[in-house]
Copies of this chain bind each other. A is one copy, B any other.
């Protein structure tokens, strides 16, 4: 069930067979969530972490006027809340955006892994640091990129991340998000996201329609976004 998770880990480091066995053994339960279901509430005490097997989920925070900011999107294979292992409770909510299947990983077994597998511990530590790197890139987008560039950047990031787990090709990828969801990632309104998508389409770069992203000119799209995949750490110089 966790093949995509292993694909993601192996894109950055080697995972031995004993380590793989330990990961597989740590899965306690597989659960299904409906779309738009908040499966972790801020402040809630947690004793397990969640690997996303299928579907799209996100971390988000909001303000008193209801404005919501998604701080990261999660795709199949992501350890969506691995950080809860050391944090014990989260500062944000986690929500599904589409129907999702997930594997639950008790913290107790993670702790076991940290005491028996130092290398695997570093691999998982790395995974949470990768989430932080994505946060930093989004801070750059939110703070300094124009709405058009920021929109292009999100689709470039998802293209790379989905390709790692076999869910994207050169032509494009499926992405069951609404323009409202995208607006909440980008710090824009859905009205403006709509205008930016139209502009990207009229520029001949990409199209997003009915849950499908069609890449018409990836290179030009990356230029608009100033997309540099360094922050996704696919160049494994480690160990």
Which positions in A face B, CB cutoff 8 Å? 42-43, 45, 59, 61-64, 67-69, 71-72, 83, 85-89, 91-92, 111, 114-115, 118, 121-122, 125-126, 128-133, 135-140, 142-145, 186-187, 226, 230-231, 233, 237-238
B91/A137 in contact, CB under 8 A: yes
Measured between C-beta atoms, what is the minimum distance from A57 to chain B in Å? 15
Q: Which 6 A-B pairs have the closest CB atoms?
A: A143-B187, A135-B135, A142-B142, A91-B231, A132-B132, A86-B126
Cα A114 to Cα B120 in complex, Å, equals: 11
Integer count of this chain's copies in the complex: 2
Which of B45, B62, B139 meets A69, CB within 8 Å? B139
B91/A233 in contact, CB under 8 A: yes
A142/B145 in contact, CB under 8 A: no
B140/A59 in contact, CB under 8 A: no
Cα A129 to Cα B59 in complex, Å, equals: 14
Residue of B nearest to A45 (CB): B237
The binding surface of chain A is classed by DSSP as helix
A88/B238 in contact, CB under 8 A: yes
Please, could you name 15 A-B residue pairs with CB atoms under 8 Å apart, sorted by A?
A: A42-B230, A43-B230, A61-B136, A61-B140, A63-B140, A63-B144, A67-B144, A68-B144, A83-B132, A86-B125, A86-B238, A88-B238, A114-B118, A114-B121, A132-B132
Additional A-B contacts beyond A88-B238, A91-B133 (16; CB < 8 A): A61-B139, A63-B140, A72-B136, A86-B125, A87-B133, A91-B230, A91-B231, A92-B231, A114-B121, A121-B121, A125-B125, A128-B132, A132-B132, A135-B135, A138-B139, A142-B187
